[in-house]
Amino acid sequence: MTHKSKQAQLTAGFTLLEIVVVIMIMGIVLSFTVLSLDNRSAKHTQEARRLAAIIRLAAEEAILSSREYKLQISRDKYSFKVLAGRKWQKLDDELLRDRQLPEGFYFQVTIENEKIDWPEDGSKIDGVGIYLLSSGECTPFAIIVRDRYNDAARQEVSNIKDGITRLQTDGGT
């Protein structure tokens, strides 16, 4: 064996230090990825909880103020309106303001056992609304908050079971 071939054999592999550095870099990248997914999951749950709480608030407001409210909903946003005379008007209320879901989140909506199919172009469907009446009645609905980037993620806000708006997770209430 010549001196050059021995030298080539000695430098042909990776050193332990190089392997450790690569593993550390991969660990750091992986931890950022996991933290990003956890943050997205928390946002998903937060949006569903917010929606349930706001719908309950609007229903109580309808009863207390003796006015009819409407939750106008589309694929990725929602707003509340109040019946004034014969027209639905936008509310001037900070808590019941128009809301947009974060990028990648969307709604699957069923109203009175009829699933709403949103147009692919993102346009609105007129008349899609959930009515919150001053008598305490409410349109039966199920709204599922979905994440386009995580098919398993689903949080359901519904009043179908017993008329009470609540957040339903895969494991129940």
Domain CATH for 58: 3.55.40.10
Give the total residue count for the chain. Answer: 173
Residue 1 inside a domain? The answer is no
pTM of the model: 0.73
pLDDT grade, residue 123 (50/70/90)? low
Residues 11-38, mean pLDDT to the nearest whole number = 76
Task: Tell me the pLDDT tens digit for each residue of 27-77.
Answer: 888 777 666 656 777 888 888 999 999 999 999 999 999 999 999 998 889
User: Structurally, how many domains does the chain consist of?
Assistant: 1
Residue among 172, 165, 169, 173 nearest 153 (CA): 169
Residue 173 inside a domain? The answer is no
Question: In this model, does residue 5 exceed pLDDT 70?
Answer: no
Beta bridge partners of 65: none
pLDDT grade, residue 7 (50/70/90)? low
Residues spanned by the domain of 128: 13-168
Residue 5 inside a domain? The answer is no
Output 11 or 115, whichever has higher pLDDT: 115
